[in-house]
Amino acid sequence: MVDVSALRELRGVAVEGDFFRIGGLTTWSEVIRAPLPRCFDALKSAAREVGSVQIQNRGTVAGNLCNASPAADGVPPLLALDAEVELVSNAGSRRMKLENFIVGNRKTERRADEILAAVLMPRGLGGAASVFLKLGARRYLVISIAMVAAVVAVDGGGRISEARIAVGSCSAAARRLRNLESALAGADVRSGIDGLVKPEHLSSLSPINDVRATAEYRMDAARTLVERALKACVGAT
């Protein structure tokens, strides 16, 4: 067993070239307090939902990702930020998209000798609106039934220039809704987003029945949360 908790160089938030870098050992409380641009609002909202304040003070970003729970609150907002993970071992370091790193329920591409040193997010969409919505059976200290993170940039003419939407707890690993993202690109949202989200845009999800909800309920909840998240993003631009 290796205790990595004292490695200070794996902690903190910084700008590194074209990327924001969040050290793997950064706690959720540190993410909440970090001076980050608007597109990180969803990540900060998710950080506030990780268990309780005590858990947020101890739990780290790397732990949340390496644990690879389908219900990990940190994953959808980081997917929507197009995050990459940096993995380090004695053999060197490598980077991969978070989307490719978490491959299933509790399954990642991390090799046994690697630690997750950092997550890196491209700086491009800094000013875009972002929202995280989590549905659980109660308000606090809850594992989600469904959750959605959205990062949406709208141009001066009221058209969506880029939308990134990720859904968690509705498949073995959280997923980006690429078909919806493509459908939204260029959409005029001056009069709202009604009718833009269609059932087929969620077809990549594969929710399960469990003690928290049925698959059907999860699908319905995911669609409602996606619509609410988009409305909130567009209304905030």
Q: 74 or 207: whose CB is closer to ligand FAD?
A: 74
Q: How far is the CB of 121 from ligand FAD (least distance, A)?
A: 17
Q: Tell whether residue 45 is a contact of ligand FAD (CB under 6 A).
A: no
Place of tokens 């732990």: 63
Beta bridge partners of 154: 160
CA distance 121 to 19: 5
Joined together, the tokens standing for residue 106 give: 């509790």
47-55, 92-100, 170-178, 190-198 -> range binding ligand FAD (CB under 6 A): 47-55
Region of 52-60, 118-126, 172-180, 215-223 interacting with ligand FAD (CB under 6 A): 52-60
Considering beta carbons, is residue 143 or 187 the nearer one to ligand FAD?
143
The dihedrals phi and psi of 105, each to the nearest 5 degrees, come to: -65, 110
Whole-number minimum distance, CB 9 to ligand FAD, in Å?
12
| Contact stretch for ligand FAD (CB under 6 A) within 37-45, 49-57, 153-161, 172-180 | 49-57
The answer to the question of residue 50 lying near ligand FAD (CB under 6 A) is yes
Report the C-alpha gap between 142 and 137 in whole angstroms.
7
Q: How far lies 9's CA from each of 4, 104, 114, 117, in Å?
A: 11, 29, 16, 9
Quick one: which segment of 51-59, 76-84, 152-160, 192-200 binds ligand FAD (CB under 6 A)? Answer: 51-59
Q: Figure out which of the listed residues 19, 24, 85, 118 binds ligand FAD, where binding follows CB under 6 A.
A: 24
Q: How far is the CB of 28 from ligand FAD (least distance, A)?
A: 7
C-alpha distance from residue 70 to each of 93, 133, 175, 219 (Å): 26, 15, 10, 15
CA-CA distance, 56 to 80, in Å (whole number)? 21
**Contact flags string 89-128 toward ligand FAD, x per CB under 6 A:** --------------------------xx------------
Q: Report the residue from 40, 59, 154, 213 that binds ligand FAD according to the rule CB under 6 A.
A: 59
* Spatial distance between the Cα atoms of 75 and 65, rounded to a whole number of angstroms: 7
Query: In whole angstroms, what is the distance from residue 28 CA to residue 43 CA?
Result: 9
Tokens 């609106």 correspond to: 129
Those residues whose C-beta lies under 8 Å from the C-beta of residue 181, and which sit 6 or more positions away, are 163, 164, 165
Give me the residues that bind ligand FAD (CB under 6 A), please: 4, 24, 49-51, 55, 58-60, 62-64, 66-67, 72-74, 115-116, 143
